[in-house]
Amino acid sequence: MLDLRLYMLQRLSALILAPLVLTHIGVMIYAVQGGLSAAEILGRTQGSIPWMLFYGLFVAAVSVHASIGVRAVAAEWFGVRGSALSGLTLAVFAILGILGARAVYAVTAL
Whose Cβ is closer to another protein: residue 8's or residue 28's?
A: 8
- 68-87 residues in contact with another protein (CB under 8 A) are 72, 75-77
Return the sign of the alpha-carbon dihedral for residues 87, 102, 28, 37. Answer: negative
- 85, 87, 93, 99 alpha-carbon torsion, rounded to 10°: -130
- 24-43 residues in contact with another protein (CB under 8 A) are none
Whose Cβ is closer to another protein: residue 4's or residue 29's?
A: 4
Considering only residues 11, 31, 84, 102, which one is a binding residue for another protein as defined by CB under 8 A? 11
The 10 Å CB-count burial string (b at 16+, else e) for 65-99 is: bbbbebbeebbeeeebeeeebeebbeebbeebbee
Total residues contacting another protein by CB under 8 A comes to: 12
Binding site for another protein (CB under 8 A): 1-4, 6-8, 11, 72, 75-77
